[in-house]
Amino acid sequence: MGTNSDTIDQNTLMHLVEAGAVHGASIIGQPGGWGVVIQYGMTERALAAKRGSVRNFARFETLVGYLKKMGIAKYQVDATEYDPTTIKEERFRENAAERMRHAHEAAAHDKWFRTQIEQALQEADDPATVWLSNEEVKMQSAKRRAEWSKRALRSAI
């Protein structure tokens, strides 16, 4: 039914209806639902969802109620392409429990991460903390790598 530039949002539609600029609406049947095209001035635009894509109503009654609430009681209906057996894949979202589980996991990880940072900062600020120079760390790392290489050679034999 169109791209984002061919859509109209609910707020704009409400203002156009209040101004008396809307002179028609067409309900268009689509696979899995219904869309609406609003005619105003010399333009017609599809109604947009909150995220900018064309809004698709799964139930005709919901769309009729929406239009009536907006002040549009007369419209044409084109059910040529309507297919109730087709369900748009984009309509399915993760269920609320799954979204909440992910949100709680993210919050728990954030809390853990902030605790780790706080502990590291406290340790760094502690005067009793023993610091190693870069050269000391390089020597320890080289020694460990040499030990690992020896172990790897022995286990390969």
Q: Range with the lowest mean pLDDT among 61-70, 93-102, 129-138?
A: 93-102
Half-sphere exposure at residue 60, Cβ-oriented, CA atoms within 13 angstroms: 14
Measured torsion, CA atoms of residues 113, 118, 119, 122, in degrees rounded to the nearest 10: 160
On the 0-12 / 13-18 / 19+ scale of CB atoms within 10 A, 23 is: exposed
Hunting for tokens 């034999």 — which residue is that? 157
Helices of type H across the chain: 10-18, 60-70, 96-125, 134-156
Pairing of strands 33-40, 43-47: antiparallel
Q: Is the dihedral of CA 86, 89, 95, 98 positive or negative?
A: positive
Distance of alpha carbon 32 from alpha carbon 51, whole angstroms: 19
pLDDT tens digits for 10-56?
999 999 999 999 999 999 998 889 999 999 988 999 999 887 788 99
pTM of the entire structure? Answer: 0.54
How much of the chain, in percent, has pLDDT values that exceed 90? 69
**DSSP secondary structure, 116-155, as one string:** HHHHHHHHHH-TT-----HHHHHHHHHHHHHHHHHHHHHH
pLDDT of residue 20: 92
In eight-state DSSP terms, residue 46 is E
Distance of alpha carbon 38 from alpha carbon 1, whole angstroms: 12
> What is the mean predicted confidence (pLDDT) over 65-78?
94
